[in-house]
A and B are shown apart, each in its own frame.
Chain A
Amino acid sequence: AQKVTQAQTEISVVEKEDVTLDCVYETRDTTYYLFWYKQPPSGELVFLIRRNSFDEQNEISGRYSWNFQKSTSSFNFTITASQVVDSAVYFCALSDTYTGNQFYFGTGTSLTVIP
C-alpha cells in the first residue's frame, strides 16, 4: 500500500537557522513521483518540487534543497537560513502507477520560524 510518513508534526526554529523536514514513503512500485508542497496560513497549497524515482540526483534551489535516497525511501527537504516567511505547513506527497492520478499526502509538518 502507498503511504507517506512525516513524523515531525511541529518544528520551531529561530530565524537564520537551517531546518530539515523528513519524509518517508512506502510503495510497491518501482516507478513513482514524489512532491513537496507548502501550505501557508492562507491555505493554498504551493508546489515546490517534483522528483521521479529514476532521478536520485539531489537538488538545490536557492535556500531550498532536497535529498532523495531510494535505499531508505526518504525524500527530505532542507531550508537553509530560514526566514519568517517560511512559516507554513509542508506536505510530502507520492504518486505511482498503482495510485494513478491521485496523490497520497503525508500529515504535514508545521514549521514556525521565530524572528
Chain B
Amino acid sequence: DTGVSQNPRHKITKRGQNVTFRCDPISEHNRLYWYRQTLGQGPEFLTYFQNEAQLEKSRLLSDRFSAERPKGSFSTLEIQRTEQGDSAMYLCASSPPGGSGRWEAYVGTDTQYFGPGTRLTVL
C-alpha cells in the first residue's frame, strides 16, 4: 500500500484522557499536513511539516495539541486532556517536494493526498 496511512482508525476515550494518533505519509513526500473535520464541514487546517520542521500552525491548535515529525517520516498528533469538543475526524495528508519552478517552490501548492483519517469520540 503506497498511500497515506493513519492509525488508529477509530478512538473512543473519556474526557480528560490523552490520545495520540499516527500518520505515515507516502514515501518520498517531504510535506505532511494535519486537518480536523467535524460533521457536515470541510477539513480545517491544523499544522504543516516540511521534513521534520513544523512550519505552520493554525489558531485551532490549542496548547493541548502537539504534533511532531521527529525524523521527517511519520508524524504523531497528541491531544492532552481531551474535551468533548475535540470529537472529530483527524485527517493527515502528504505532498511531494515543491516543483522546480519558482512559483511552485514558493507556494508549495502541490496536490495533497489524504489518509483515511482517525475518528475520535470523546465521551
Which residues of A pack against B, CB within 8 Å? 4, 31-33, 35, 37, 42-47, 50, 52, 91, 93, 95-97, 100-108
Contact partner of A43 (CB less than 8 A), chosen from B31, B93, B116, is B116
How many residue pairs, one in A and one in B, have C-beta atoms under 8 Å apart? 69
In this complex, the interface size class of chain B, counting residues with CB under 8 Å from chain A, is 20 to 34
Q: Name the distance in Å between B40's Cβ and chain A's nearest Cβ.
A: 7
6 A-B residue contacts at CB 8 Å?
Answer: A100-B48, A102-B48, A103-B35, A104-B45, A107-B42, A108-B42
Contact partner of A45 (CB less than 8 A), chosen from B50, B91, B108, is B91
* CB-CB nearest 5 A-B residue pairs: A105-B42, A102-B45, A45-B114, A33-B109, A95-B109
- Taken together as a complex, chains A and B put the C-alpha atoms of A15 and B103 apart, in Å, by 42
Contact partner of B41 (CB less than 8 A), chosen from A44, A46, A96, A107, is A107
B117 CB–A CB distance under 8 Å: yes
Q: Name the distance in Å between A24's Cβ and chain B's nearest Cβ.
A: 14
Q: Name the distance in Å between A86's Cβ and chain B's nearest Cβ.
A: 19
Which residues of B pack against A, CB within 8 Å? 31, 33, 35, 40-45, 48, 50, 55-56, 58, 89, 91, 93, 103, 106-109, 111-117, 119
The residues of A that contact B103 with a CB separation of less than 8 Å are: 31
The residues of A that contact B35 with a CB separation of less than 8 Å are: 103
Q: Name the distance in Å between A96's Cβ and chain B's nearest Cβ.
A: 7
The residues of B that contact A93 with a CB separation of less than 8 Å are: 42
Q: Name the distance in Å between B5's Cβ and chain A's nearest Cβ.
A: 11
Q: Is B58 touching A102 in the complex (CB atoms < 8 A)?
A: yes
Contact partner of A101 (CB less than 8 A), chosen from B43, B56, B91, B114, is B56
Q: Is A43 touching B89 in the complex (CB atoms < 8 A)?
A: yes
The residues of A that contact B113 with a CB separation of less than 8 Å are: 47
Supplied contacts A31-B103, A103-B45, A105-B42, 4 more A-B pairs, CB within 8 Å = A31-B107, A44-B116, A52-B109, A93-B42
